[in-house]
Amino acid sequence: MKRIADELRQADVGKVWTNEPLANHTTWRIGGPADLLIQPKDKSALLTALNIIRRHEIPWSVIGRGSNLLVRDGGIRGAVLKVAEGLSHCEFRGEEVRVGAGYSMIRLATETGKMGLTGMEFAGGIPGTVGGAVYMNAGAHGSDLSRIIKDAEILFDDGEVVVLSNEELNFSYRTSLLQERKGIVLEARFGLRQGDRKEIAATLAANKDRRRLTQPLQMPCAGSVFRNPPGDHAGRLIEAAGLKGFHIGGAQVSELHANFIVNRGGATAADVLTLITHIRCTIQEKFGVEMHPEVLVVGEG
């Protein structure tokens, strides 16, 4: 792997690490090492890096800010591409905005509001990047990405770069085509509407205050752990089961919001996975409801 890392550095693709703990790159502060971690400096560098990886026939995966992600304690074999600052451009054209996959969703919601564009307010508390949000069809406050995205440029595993429309991305609740076909979001184009700047700012501020009061933002976490069951809320069920504050090792059900699991110090991925299983079994036993995790689990045990 060192030889491939040297080749990537010689190609000047950006930052390159070997045997890098992914706990340093996830919001849960959990995760074993990646054999090779690459943070491309721009879109061209990403294409170059993927070509080198494919030529050496090593497996690869992709992360953004590391929210909504649990990396197992054994880490990830092969190469991990971190789509971050190098793909964080943002361009406004009337009521449209074209954004790089590494751009922060929270920052995007703020910037569109400043431009007097409405439709992105729901994203003011989504901690990930645009690329991750497209992958997961991220949403909050009764809306999601599928309602505003026009299309996205995708780099697929075979090296093909394709622009896919909203319909072709095959969105549904917290899912997209990218969970079926391996690819990397390069950028996305959103269609918004003109709105009142004061009203948009007020909505963003109200959502921020609500998050501050109800979510454990001061502790390492990954966002909501479970999808909401039809007609109900995961947090309500977990709280009703008496699991608020329950912990296994360093992983604890948040005392603020029961659909968050926090790292209270020294948590391992095994702790989180055991706690997730306990929650699922308890909810099934008490309420007959099957809970489905929203967080993506990757890597080796």
Residues known to be catalytic? 174, 224, 294
**Residue 148, Cβ density class (10 Å: 0-12 exposed, 13-18 middle, ≥19 buried):** buried
* Alpha carbon distance 203, 197 (integer Å): 10
Residue pair 123/133 in contact by the 8 Å Cβ criterion: yes
Helix extents (H) in 188-250: 197-214, 234-240
Residue closest to 68 by CA, chosen among 299, 300, 301, 296: 296
* Alpha carbon distance 74, 65 (integer Å): 20
Half-sphere exposure of 64 toward its Cβ, with a 13 Å CA cutoff?
A: 27
Helix extents (H) in the chain: 2-10, 43-55, 105-114, 130-136, 197-214, 234-240, 269-287
Half-sphere exposure of 71 toward its Cβ, with a 13 Å CA cutoff?
A: 27
* Alpha carbon distance 24, 31 (integer Å): 8
Report angle CA 40, 45, 51 to the nearest 5 degrees: 110
